[in-house]
Amino acid sequence: MHIETVRFERIFDVQSGTFSFEAGGKREFGVIFDHKSVPDAGSTFAVVLDEPGNWQTVAGWRDLSTARVGLKRSAWAIAIDLLFDFYFVLIPIPALALVLGGPWAALGTFGLMVLGACAMVVGAARHNRQIERALRAVRPSPPRAVTGPDILARSGDPTAPAH
């Protein structure tokens, strides 16, 4: 899990939740938060990437101007996906165990499948909780105060605006 703080200087190529952006002179293409959220240009976000530098692996995000945290996949979504997958696996595997090993083998197989599914949902919930805590811990950097050396540096800079 890698956290990056990024100020979206320019957002472009927005299509049904997929967007591209430019920040710090770099461009990233085809970024997806959750197919509903697209940041505004000029906003600053803290983003959790599963792989550092790979914007295709976004796991969570937070607009630093709010406390709201977004997650790529909730534990509920994973549980619902498992229910659909379970439907295709629940009948053939215990049936095969019933034919090859009898009713106790089928019951044991079914129990192991349910336990595995529960472990996956609990693991996803824990992972999401870690992401949420990490994103809530990121604080926006305060605006930098202009100091005396900054003013002196600007006065010697021919490109600095005149006052």
Given this model, what pLDDT does residue 132 score?
92
Domain count within the chain? 2
Q: Rounded distance, CA 97 to CA 153, Å?
A: 78
Task: Supply 2's token pair.
Answer: 């890698």
Phi, psi torsion values for 113, nearest 5 degrees? -65, -40
The verdict on 94 and 105 lying in the same domain is yes
More confident residue, 150 or 113: 113
For residue 162, being part of any structural domain is answered with no
The verdict on 81 and 93 lying in the same domain is yes
The verdict on 67 and 97 lying in the same domain is no
The verdict on 65 and 9 lying in the same domain is yes
Residues 6+ apart with CB under 8 A from 75: 121, 122, 124, 125, 128
Residue 23 pLDDT more than 60?
yes
The share of the chain scoring above pLDDT 90, in percent, equals: 20
**30: nearest Cα among 42, 47, 12, 44:** 12
Q: Rounded distance, CA 107 to CA 111, Å?
A: 6
The verdict on 15 and 62 lying in the same domain is yes
For residue 15, being part of any structural domain is answered with yes
The number of residues making up the chain comes to 163
On the CB side of 79, CA atoms within 13 Å amount to 10
Residue with tokens 């106790």: 104
The verdict on 109 and 49 lying in the same domain is no
The verdict on 56 and 83 lying in the same domain is no
Q: For residue 133, name the pLDDT band (cuts at 50, 70, 90).
A: very high
Residue with tokens 């006065």: 155
The verdict on 81 and 64 lying in the same domain is no
**DSSP letter assigned to residue 101:** H
Query: Whole domain around residue 94: which residue ranges?
Result: 75-127
The verdict on 54 and 87 lying in the same domain is no
For residue 137, being part of any structural domain is answered with no
The verdict on 36 and 48 lying in the same domain is yes
> What is the SS3 assignment for 132?
helix
Point out the least confidently predicted range of 36-45, 53-62, 143-152.
143-152
Residues 64-89 pLDDT 10s = 888 888 888 888 888 888 888 777 87
Q: What is the pTM of this model?
A: 0.70
